[in-house]
Amino acid sequence: MKNQWTNFYTGYVIVKANGKGTERLINALLKKGIPIWDVKRAGTDSLVFCIDLKEVPKLRETVRSSDCKVTFISGKGGPFLLRRLLKNSGFLAGSLAFLVCLFVLSNMVWGIEIHNANPETEYAIRKELDKMGVKIGKVQFLLDDVDTIQRKLSDNVSALTWIGVELKGTTYHFQVVEKKQPKAEKKLSPQNLVAKKKATIADMFVEKGQPMIKVNDNVYKGQLLVSGIIGKEDTPKVVSARGVILGETWYNSTIEVPLKSNFSVFNGDEMTKHFLSIGNFSLPIWGFKDPGYKHFEKDTTVRPFHFLKWELPIGYKTETKRSKEDIVREYTPAQAHKEAAKMGRADLKKQLPADAEIKKEKILHTTNQNGKVKLIILYQVIENIAAGQPIIQGD
């Protein structure tokens, strides 16, 4: 017997031979090298057997010189299956179209759910999603991946502290943690204002309370600036001291800038290749040319296809190469000195409150050795040094 898969692929027929010479017919076929199998007796003068479809002409030729008659019972295998499919091509086309529609619909966005967001924040999120093309009816694998969507929302929606993005089937789920908005100012408990740090008083604006210092006074950390106890000594009144005490404070900063440094930057050239991903195999479908970048950074994204609720082992894969260039940056000592001063001021501003002002700066020390310029700078800053300190009744 031949291999069953080969038989199915080439096709075969089931034949019934009738007559007194059925055994002689079988022997004649075997002598001619015609393979037959599954030979069974179906009666006194009848045999049933299988034969390759391509051997049917030789069978007919052999039957003519025998005392038998043959009947073809049925055909099996690929050629007969294909014939039946073509006969029912309308049904086949309809079934295929239905499956294609299901596949496409399974890979589209049909829901966007935003959880734990107030109406204003939800509106801002949906507006940003519209800009990114994340809308109902869009094909999923043509959109950004969930990590990119999360990053863009975090960068562009100011009300967010954190947002989680998850794609479940055809629905995007967004879990929102909003920034705590400043609450309405509550009635303050009785308090004094004390110094947060050592300073020289530059100016003061006392809204409520008894000032205990004056302009140009030197104060230490924790010193009482404005008392919350006002009125006469025999009839004191306790209030919540409020005001702004501007103090002159000082900060030291040490900055180093190399005269020569090497780093890589993107030059703007990039190329994206598109693949059909099947397991660990990737079939190129667009962008076959090699860009020939000497230095590059490669980002690979795979978006799996879905069919109904199941994730398929095939997907849409993109591979983006971004060209990079090695840059050598060189400063003269004067340029490095200027850059260090700029960096020092920028770093200090990050540490200071938004309403603080850098009044003056003085370079205390400069060195140029080992290929680096080093500056030690003293900054004079004007900032609010007042901090509330509760008044405990009975003190």
| CATH number assigned to the domain comprising residue 140 | 3.10.20.310
Last residue in a domain, options 326, 347, 363: 326
Amino acid found at 72: F
- Residue 248, domain member (yes or no): no
In a domain, 185, yes or no: no
Domain of residue 322, residue span:
265-326
Residues recorded for the chain: 395
List of residues 6+ apart from 80 with CB closer than 8 A: 11
Q: Give the per-residue pLDDT at 1.
A: 47
Containing 25, the helix (H) or strand (E) segment is helix 22-31
Please identify which residue in the block is written with the tokens 């991946």: 145
Give the end of a domain, one of 303, 326, 349.
326
Chain center to CA of 322: 18
- The kind and range of the H/E element at 162 are strand 160-168
Question: Do residues 128 and 156 make contact, with C-beta atoms less than 8 angstroms apart?
Answer: yes
Residue 251, both tokens: 């900060």
Residue that finishes a domain, picked among 157, 178, 199 = 178
Provide the 8-state DSSP code for 189: P
- Give which of 115, 172, 118, 178 is closest to 140, Cα–Cα: 172
Total tally of structural domains belonging to the chain: 5
395, part of any domain: no
Residue 143 falls inside a structural domain: yes
Q: Is residue 153 situated within a structural domain?
A: yes
Q: What CATH number has the domain bearing residue 12?
A: 3.30.70.120
pTM, 2 dp = 0.53
- Which amino acid is it at 6? T
Q: What tokens appear for 161 in the block? A: 């502290």
- Same domain (yes/no): 47, 77: yes
Q: Is position 98 within any domain?
A: no
Task: Walk along the chain (395 residues) and give the pLDDT tens digit of each residue.
Answer: 456 677 788 899 999 999 888 888 888 999 888 888 989 888 888 899 999 999 899 989 888 888 888 999 988 888 888 888 777 777 778 888 888 888 888 889 999 999 988 999 999 999 999 999 999 999 888 888 888 999 999 999 988 889 999 988 889 999 999 877 655 555 668 999 999 999 999 999 999 999 999 999 999 999 999 998 888 877 888 999 999 999 999 999 999 999 999 988 888 899 999 999 988 888 898 888 888 888 899 988 888 888 888 888 888 898 999 999 989 999 999 999 999 999 999 999 999 998 999 999 999 999 999 999 999 999 999 999 999 999 886 54
CA 175 from chain centre, in angstroms, equals 15
How many CA atoms within 13 Å lie on the side-chain side of 128?
A: 22
- Report which of 4, 384, 3 is spatially closest to residue 194, judged by C-alpha positions: 384
Residue 197 in any domain: the answer is: yes
Residue 141 inside a domain? The answer is: yes
Same domain flag for 167 and 203: no
* pLDDT score of 181: 62
356 CB-contact burial (10 Å; exposed 0-12 / middle 13-18 / buried 19+): middle
Give the dihedral sign, CA 41/43/47/49: negative
**Predicted local distance difference test score (pLDDT) of residue 3:** 65
Token output for 138 = 């869009």
**pLDDT at site 384:** 95
Which residues have C-beta within 8 Å of that of residue 322, sequence separation ≥ 6? 266, 269, 270, 296, 297, 298, 299
CA–CA dist 140, 131 (Å, integer): 15
